[in-house]
Amino acid sequence: MSESKLAGQFFDAAIGLLQRVRDEEGERIAEAGTAVADAVAAGNRLFAFGAGHSSLAAQDVVYRAGGLALMNFLAVPGTAGVDVMPATLGSALERVDGLAGAVLDSSPATAGDVLVVISLSGRNALPVEMAVNARALGLTVIGVTSVAYARETRSRHVSGTFLKDHCDIVLDSKIAVGDAELSHDGIAAPFAPASTVVTSAIMQAVMAAAAGELAARGIEPPLLRSGNVDGGHEWNGRVMQEYRDRIFFRH
């Protein structure tokens, strides 16, 4: 099999997953968009959290051209990327009990806010406790995860539960356990993960649904424009000034 055929197979796999999510999760994505719109309309705040590669989809909706200016990244030090040394420390921190509570307690998140918790497996202590603690504080929790992990793996949290068990809304990414879409006779391990493609698409779909819901209510969605188009900086400056009490990535 040529390299180009493998590349094409990955695109086919990713497209297939995106179609499944669109068709099977559309109602819940709309529900999540409504929850985000409700928070914006009520004067509340928006947060997204993810650890490891799950953080990529969370970061993708923060300070993003075409995105909602009010979406803030809820960072847990050492877990948000591969820049931490050693990179394996991030994986270890996902299994630490109590870390999520400490982060939430020192964050600006309060009752009425929305928190999106992204975790492919949803089995580690950090995302589970993030959802549990956020709901205890009165936040609406949207979980983006692969429900297959709850069926085929064991939780690493002391409760034996998964992220999906502690969310107001669950969006299933449909990613198979192992997050590798391709295999090949000459390659020992499965490869070509699609979770970032699919999860980022889910997040953007939720943001689009929220923008549409706000517009339907006669509320101008607080969207950012690209700083690389004429007038973009001026537009963003006005939006950030108007919503400065709900934007935390500027401080």
129 contacts 101 by C-beta, under 8 angstroms = yes
Task: Indicate whether 15 pLDDT > 70.
Answer: yes
178, exposed or middle or buried, with CB in 10 Å at 0-12, 13-18, 19+? middle
pLDDT at 76: 82
Q: Which residues pair with 143 in a beta bridge?
A: 117, 170
251 contacts 91 by C-beta, under 8 angstroms = no
DSSP H helices, 106-231, are 125-136, 147-152, 195-216
Specify the pTM. 0.93
pLDDT, mean of residues 222-232:
96
Number of alpha carbons in the 13 Å side-chain half-sphere of residue 201: 20
128 contacts 157 by C-beta, under 8 angstroms = yes
pLDDT at 2: 64
Q: Which band of pLDDT confidence, cut at 50, 70 and 90, is reported for residue 251?
A: low
Q: Which band of pLDDT confidence, cut at 50, 70 and 90, is reported for residue 100?
A: confident
Number of neighbouring beta carbons within 10 Å of residue 135: 15
